[in-house]
Amino acid sequence: MGQLAEALRDLEEETVIELVETGIKNGQSALEIISECNAGMVAVGELFSQNQYFLSELIYSGEILAGVMAKLEPLLQETGATESKGKVLVGTVKGDIHDIGKNIVISLLRGSGFEVIDMGVDVPTEEFAKKVKETGAKALGLCALLNFTYPEMKTVIETLQATGIRNDVQVIIGGAPCNEQVREYAGADYYAPDALAAVNLCKKIYQ
Ligand code: B12
């Protein structure tokens, strides 16, 4: 584990920000920094599972990461794309309020020229199908970080089916504990392990 990941795991806010600023100065890419932060957040999650950290530490880690993202945001927007590459809907499913990773995905998509409609967190099931119809977006990103909200991704996709628009939109799922098995279970088209993968999938969908 790198120094930055360790500092984030140990909730050393000042050190985290210092290391991020040094990384930026030394030409480290935003995605490299995010990837190291991810490792730190996974470690925070593990300490939480082991009852060594409690909800307050989980909240604090989120706040530190939000501070990091405020520093990285301008770098994610810097690709200079002008024309819209296509519309992408992104939201965190019902029952889930995790949004740090989703917001990174959105920043990177916007920076890459996509028009993103951010549906927020804890999005009611039927809202997704409604918005797909309304906007004509061909890509829908569903975010879930809790294993008890995976079934909700499945329900959203079933709603698309029931509304007769399943074939109009490609569904990409993401969020730390998602994987190929969850994708298969939910009936999604793709699983993106990180923000860059999400951008590449959207490029593929709109090519
Ligand atoms: C910070 C955090 C919180 C914060 C969230 C703040 C916020 N605004 O998001 C707070 C404190 C609110 C929180 C609450 C809870 N949390 Co929490 N949380 C975390 C933690 C430590 C980090 C998550 C994070 O932001 N990571 C950093 C980002 C950058 O990573 P990421 O989300 O994976 O995103 C990347 C990729 O996954 C992908 N991606 C992300 N989203 C999307 C979306 C799309 C569409 C795509 C394509 C890709 C994509 O791209 C991103 C960038 O590369 C995780 C630990 C972990 N392993 O993830 C636990 C974790 C997710 N939480 C957990 C739990 C249990 C909870 C609570 C139930 C705790 C409680 N008892 O109340 C509540 C649930 C609240 C709710 N209803 O949603 C568990 C979930 C266990 C499980 N598998 O079900 C975890 C895994 C911790 C653990 N090991 O126990 N949490």
Stretch (H or E) spanning 28: none
pLDDT at residue 12 is higher than 80: yes
Q: Confidence band (pLDDT; 50, 70, 90) for 76?
A: confident
Instruction: Give the 3-state secondary structure of residue 174.
Output: strand
Q: State which ligand 1 atom lies nearest to the alpha carbon of 172.
A: 47
Share of the chain above pLDDT 70, in %: 98
The pLDDT assigned to 73 comes to 86
DSSP 47: H
Regarding whether 171 and 115 lie in a shared domain, the answer is: yes
Considering its fold, how many domains does the chain have in total?
2
Regarding whether 47 and 10 lie in a shared domain, the answer is: yes
Residue 38: which domain range? 3-76
Q: How far is the CA of 99 from the centre of ligand 1 (A)?
A: 8
The pLDDT assigned to 62 comes to 93
For 109-135, write each residue's pLDDT tens digit. 988 889 999 999 999 999 999 999 999
Indicate the burial class of 144 (C-beta count within 10 angstroms; 0-12, 13-18, 19 or more): buried
Regarding whether 31 and 130 lie in a shared domain, the answer is: no
The pLDDT assigned to 74 comes to 87
Residues in Cβ contact with 200 at an 8 Å cutoff, skipping those fewer than 6 apart: none
The pLDDT assigned to 4 comes to 96
Regarding whether 104 and 199 lie in a shared domain, the answer is: yes
pLDDT at residue 80 is higher than 60: no
pLDDT at residue 78 is higher than 70: no
Considering the domain boundaries, does residue 82 fall inside one? no
Q: How far is the CA of 153 from the centre of ligand 1 (A)?
A: 16
Regarding whether 123 and 181 lie in a shared domain, the answer is: yes
Residue pointed to by tokens 């797909």 = 132
> Which of 76, 101, 120 is the endpoint of a domain?
76
Q: How far is the CA of 122 from the centre of ligand 1 (A)?
A: 13
Stretch (H or E) spanning 15: helix 13-25
Regarding whether 43 and 113 lie in a shared domain, the answer is: no
| Average pLDDT of the segment spanning 61-67 | 94
The pLDDT assigned to 84 comes to 80
The pLDDT assigned to 111 comes to 84
Regarding whether 65 and 147 lie in a shared domain, the answer is: no
pLDDT at residue 82 is higher than 90: no
Regarding whether 102 and 200 lie in a shared domain, the answer is: yes
Regarding whether 104 and 46 lie in a shared domain, the answer is: no
CATH number of the CATH domain containing 171: 3.40.50.280
Residue pair 182/157 in contact by the 8 Å Cβ criterion: no
Regarding whether 39 and 137 lie in a shared domain, the answer is: no
132 alpha carbon, distance to own chain's centre:
19
| Average pLDDT of the segment spanning 30-59 | 94
The residues lining ligand 1, judged by C-beta closer than 6 Å to any ligand atom, are: 34, 38, 41-42, 44-46, 48-49, 55, 58-59, 61-62, 65, 90, 95-102, 104-105, 141-143, 145-147, 172, 174-177, 192, 194-195, 198
| Average pLDDT of the segment spanning 137-161 | 97
Regarding whether 99 and 35 lie in a shared domain, the answer is: no
Regarding whether 50 and 119 lie in a shared domain, the answer is: no
Q: Which tokens belong to 107?
A: 């920043």
Q: How far is the CA of 178 from the centre of ligand 1 (A)?
A: 11
pLDDT at residue 81 is higher than 60: no
Q: State which ligand 1 atom lies nearest to the alpha carbon of 99.
A: 9
